[in-house]
Structure 1
Amino acid sequence: MAPALTHFLAGATLVLLAAGPLALRGYLTRRHLWLVVFGGLWGMFPDIHYVTPVFQSELTAMHDSRWADLFAFHYTLDQPPFDTRDLLSIAASVVTFVIAVAVFTAATAVGDRNSHGRPPRYGLLARTLVFGYAAGIVGLLGALVVGGALVWTGRLELVAELVGRESTAAGWLVLIGGCVVASAGFAGGVSVLNRRWHVLRPGPSLVLGVWYGLGVWLVGVAFAVPIWMRVVLDLSRPVPYLHVFGLVVLGSFGAVIGFAYPLVWRFIGPPVADLGSSKRVSEQ
């Protein structure tokens, strides 16, 4: 089992990150510490069977099942390698918690000034936060699409083997990390193109996303993965590795992030528009 501190910080981290868009909009200007308390207790809830005098058998069964993952991935954190490396899991949870606090604090700094004449320098901070959140959210959506296809075909463990693991949890971690990184690359490209052409719309972005997914397949699956497997894992794969299933899945991944990114940007991005208008007003 992972230490209680790991579960507490995992829950607090997820709640702070989830509350970031609300902070950007200026809805969370006070009582921030209660978010940490709520998130921490949420992450630790499956361990309540150790102290409660009632429903111990039912709560124990829930703790030992996948249902516990509804509480900040409690079940997964109680599995190897997290439960066998206490110091490493605590250190990782502390680092991610500090990052979440920094992100939430920055979002609050922007949101608190939405109605009080925010200085122009906060424009870059707001755009950076919106960019990060939008890229992260669509990356998770893309990971669900790719992960669903891999689970349906029984290939998820193959992803874990790329890092020398065989568990489903490791496969999901590698997949989510890769999808978020790929989504950030796509978001950066769209942001650059949008300065010259108005591509931050579902239609043009969808087309760009499909082409981006095909490019990821060409660079990643066809060349990078087989080279990695040969050099690091000592497994023979042809180069290029023309994996048709991967082509379809990554094309779908590109379509999902391409269509979703402009919508998510608009949903969490009003502070950016406000920044522009407030800056023009101040200049007048």
Structure 2
Amino acid sequence: MAFAIVHFTVGFVSILALLWALPLTRYRLTGAFLGGIWALVPDGSKILDGSQGTAVETIHDGELADLFFFHGTLDEPVFRALNIELTFLALCALGITFLLYDWRYGRHTPVVNRFGSATDPPPTDSD
């Protein structure tokens, strides 16, 4: 079973990469956050009890778990042995995704002129 941060990061990075390529929405980070939450849904049985917890546990143990950003695959024993490496890789991917997102959509700092800032108002005739 992979750590929850790995599941969240896989969902977050996947949706953010998809929304980065599509210029359709202005709420990219919100969509990416919801993608991370979607990736954690099969682990909801750990906080839900009763019939809801049982239903979510059925999803977690079944074939539908891979619809939640490969949740079932990441919980296989092969990946369980690589928990630390997967966490490091997921956090590196998250950092790179944030850098690419900021490069593409972030505000760039203004160019500083020799005697002032590029954001200074232009001189008027009265100056």
TM norm structure 2: 0.72
Higher helix share goes to which structure? Answer: 1
Residue by residue over 1:39-64, the C-alpha shift from the partner in whole angstroms, topping out at 9 and shown as x without a partner, is: 21111111011111332222112101
Residue by residue over 1:93-121, the C-alpha shift from the partner in whole angstroms, topping out at 9 and shown as x without a partner, is: 11112222233333325xx8xxxxxxxxx
Mind listing any 5+ residue stretches in structure 2 that lack a counterpart? 108-127
Please report the RMSD computed on the Cα atoms of aligned residues, expressed in angstroms: 2.3
Stretch moving more, 52-61 or 1-10 = 52-61
Is the 1:13–1:97 contact (alpha carbons within 8 Å) kept by the matching residues of 2?
yes
Shift of 1:32: 4.4
Shift of 1:26: 6.8
User: Residue type of the partner of 1:104?
Assistant: Y
Shift of 1:5: 0.8
| Cα distance change of structure 1 residues 46 and 107 upon mapping to structure 2, 3 Å threshold | same
Question: Which secondary structure state, in structure 2, belongs to the residue aligned with residue 88 of structure 1?
Answer: helix
Q: Which runs of structure 2 are paired with 1:161-180 in the superposition (5 Å)?
A: none
- Indicate yes or no: 2:85 matched with 1:88: yes
Is the 1:16–1:101 contact (alpha carbons within 8 Å) kept by the matching residues of 2?
no
Provide runs of 4+ in structure 1 moved above 4 Å.
none
* Distance of 2:25 and 2:6 partners within structure 1: 28
Is the 1:69–1:75 contact (alpha carbons within 8 Å) kept by the matching residues of 2?
yes
* Distance of 1:46 and 1:26 partners within structure 2: 29
TM norm structure 1: 0.34
Overall identity of the aligned pairs, in %:
26
* Distance of 2:83 and 2:44 partners within structure 1: 20
Shift of 1:78: 0.5
Question: Which secondary structure state, in structure 2, belongs to the residue aligned with residue 52 of structure 1?
Answer: coil
Question: Which secondary structure state, in structure 2, belongs to the residue aligned with residue 68 of structure 1?
Answer: helix
Residue by residue over 1:147-204, the C-alpha shift from the partner in whole angstroms, topping out at 9 and shown as x without a partner, is: xxxxxxxxxxxxxxxxxxxxxxxxxxxxxxxxxxxxxxxxxxxxxxxxxxxxxxxxxx
Question: Which secondary structure state, in structure 2, belongs to the residue aligned with residue 56 of structure 1?
Answer: helix
* Distance of 2:28 and 2:18 partners within structure 1: 13
* Distance of 2:33 and 2:70 partners within structure 1: 17
Question: Which secondary structure state, in structure 1, belongs to the residue aligned with residue 76 of structure 2?
Answer: coil
* Distance of 2:67 and 2:14 partners within structure 1: 12
1:3 alignment partner in structure 2: 3
Shift of 1:75: 0.5
